[in-house]
Chains A and B, each alone.
Chain A
């Protein structure tokens, strides 16, 4: 499998995800600096977490204008699987590959803790192996919002990928860490080849990290 990880100034989960992908697929991904303009033929493009451009203007807004993003958008529209995690999710939203917006956490605090998510749509390449999974979140702007018209559209198209839940899979208010609408933790594009999610599966992909639930997300499309 050929995979690519985009690296922006301020990315800080790029090497974590590279290790996870190598462990699971056997092949190390190619790291692509954001100033490049094309990505080689790819089976998976990852937009990693971090604080690209110091979160200036809005999280992900400046990175979405980086030269490489034109090719990421083109390849995504051509059907190449693309996954954005945390800041990567914010960048995909700012690039208009995914619907909605990620606002400041309702509590106004940076939240770093383990949470549970469950997949809402088991038909996508990213979500088919994941039922309930534990993994960390670490963000200040993860409060998913979308207008009521748009919410109906993404619900009708089954674009909600993951929802925050408790350890038994109940999607309720106490298990919502950041105020996200409908406990949404991750969304898909209409074609289901682009996934954005706030939780970090790459930080929970080996037993030595305390939990390997995150592996299921990578395994679902690597194997």
Chain B
């Protein structure tokens, strides 16, 4: 089972890297870029077959290590 995890800064946390990326896109001529938020992408391969228990474990992994819950949000997707 493959889990795909996205970690991004919370909406109310300033993302200076995102702002710099947005400015660079604009300077390349990509008009209409309103806002950029960047983050991390992690793939985890599990030997789990049960989706519900996998999601429970992945939530725990995110909260304990993969994301910093003070400043980051995460989302888990399972294929």
Contact = CB atoms under 8 A, between A and B. Distances in A.
Interface in A81-135: 94, 99-101, 103-104, 106-108
What bracket does the count of chain A residues touching chain B fall in? 10 to 19
A145 B66 contact: no
A20 to B, nearest CB: 30
Contacts of B16: 104, 106-108
A147 interface: yes
Contacts of B14: 106, 179
Interface residues of B, number: 10
Contacts, number: 29
Interface of A is mostly: loop
Given A103-B13, A145-B13, A108 B20 contact: yes
A145 B70 contact: yes
Given A61-B68, A101-B68, A103-B71, 15 more contacts: A57-B65, A57-B66, A61-B65, A65-B65, A94-B68, A99-B70, A101-B71, A103-B13, A106-B14, A107-B16, A108-B20, A145-B71, A146-B70, A147-B70, A179-B14
Interface of B: 13-14, 16-17, 20, 65-66, 68, 70-71
20 contacts: A57-B66, A58-B68, A61-B65, A61-B68, A99-B70, A101-B68, A103-B71, A104-B16, A104-B17, A106-B16, A107-B16, A108-B16, A108-B17, A108-B20, A145-B70, A145-B71, A146-B70, A147-B70, A150-B70, A179-B14
